[in-house]
Amino acid sequence: MRRYAIPIASVLLLPATSFAQGITGADALLAQASPTRPAAPATSSTSEMKKYLVFFDWNKSVLTPEAKKIIANAADDFKKTGSARIVATGHTDTSGSAVYNMGLSVRRADAVKAELVRLGVPAGNIVTIGKGQTDLLVPTKDGVREAQNRRVSIEMPVAVAAKPAPAPAPTPVVAPPPPPPPPLKWAATLGPWVGWNLRESDPGNPTKQSLLVGPEVSIKYAITPNWVADVAGAGFNTVGTSQNDGWGGRGVAGIRHQWNLGAWHPSIGPEVGYIFGKGTQDGVVLGPVVGLDVDLTKNMFLYSKVGYDHNFRNEITQGIVNGGLGMGYRW
């Protein structure tokens, strides 16, 4: 029974609540008990865990050149020490959903395993685990992009020479994390704006409707990751629905609550401003707006929005249904 104690204890050390790939179940017992493969050294006073940290770009599982250097160091130590097992544990930050982050953490751990195998480490000696956003290196709120949490930890037991007197354990070799990128606070958008006025002010025809079309620009500022303030201005002309074609303008400011779901950022909030010109009833407008931003890259995104302007000079049902879409740039 003694010769099975170490393999069984090693298997029980694997986390039961994490996503794990590689050696599991009966395969783990056979792999570690095989006479052709050395058994994993038990943690004792003559061994210690050596740890490496590999960092990833946001929403990526592709290894950077710096990450490949760290993995190469880990592979060299594996070959020198004759360690029987490497554990690669993937992690993410809190941006995106928990389900998506769990899958991303597994893909990151698999990318590290693939590089170790390419460098000569046997695939059967590598265990991969995905922990998603459940074990943060830097505690943050939900929806925060934190570079130090986007990582894979590589751990392996290494032998420590016996000494006559106890000595402090050596500090694990940890690669310095890259500096976190500054948060992107500002954004600008440009695109067409369309409004359907349910009551215009043409002389002698006060109930006539009008279609308003023109360009719109806006500036946004992220007060927090979940609250965004913006100002927008549009110039418009009536299209085939006004007795007096001519240019008008609309300027509004507002604040929205934004959800950060990976590359998708839906939002909702109020906006207030002033509208004037042909095809409208000049006056103060107030109403809700619902929007959606979709990331194309770290800086570029598409936006769309739909809102309703209540003109205080008209009835609540005689406002302007409006919307827009276009491109945005974040910095």
Dist. CA 167–CA 161, nearest whole Å = 11
C-alpha 31/C-alpha 14 separation (Å) is: 14
- Picking from 10, 65, 70, 88, the residue whose alpha carbon sits closest to that of residue 42 is 10
Beta bridge partners of residue 236, listed in sequence order: 248
Q: How far is 54 from 109, CA to CA, in rounded Å?
A: 10
pLDDT at residue 165 is higher than 80: no
State the pLDDT confidence band at 4, using cuts at 50, 70 and 90. very low
Residue 73: enclosing H or E segment and its boundaries?
helix 65-81
**Cα torsion 105, 156, 85, 1: sign:** negative
Superfamily of domain 2-159: OmpA-like domain (3.30.1330.60)
One-character DSSP codes across 263-299: TEEEEEEEEEEEEEETTS--EEEEEEEEEEEEESSSS
Confidence at residue 83, expressed as pLDDT on a 0 to 100 scale? 66
For residue 46, what pLDDT is reported? 64
Q: Stretch 110-127: mean pLDDT, rounded? A: 88
More confident residue, 221 or 16: 221
All CATH 2.40.160.20 domain ranges in the chain, comma separated: 186-330
Higher pLDDT, 64 or 164: 64
Residues of the chain with CATH 3.30.1330.60: 2-159
- Binning pLDDT at 50, 70 and 90, where does residue 161 land? low
Tens digits of residue pLDDT in 234-276: 999 888 765 556 788 999 999 999 999 999 999 999 999 999 8
d(CA 66, CA 52): 12
CA–CA dist 55, 71 (Å, integer): 11
* Least confident piece of the model among 110-114, 159-163, 317-321: 159-163
Lowest mean pLDDT, pick from 68-72, 141-145, 302-306, 311-315: 311-315
- What pLDDT, on the 0 to 100 scale, is given for residue 250? 94
- What architecture does CATH give domain 186-330? Beta Barrel (2.40)
Average pLDDT of span 223-239: 93
User: What's the angle, vertex CA 285, arms to CA 227 and CA 272, rounded to 5?
Assistant: 20
| Average pLDDT of the segment spanning 306-319 | 88
The residue-averaged pLDDT of 71-78 equals 86
Which helix (H) or strand (E) segment holds residue 9: the answer is helix 2-12
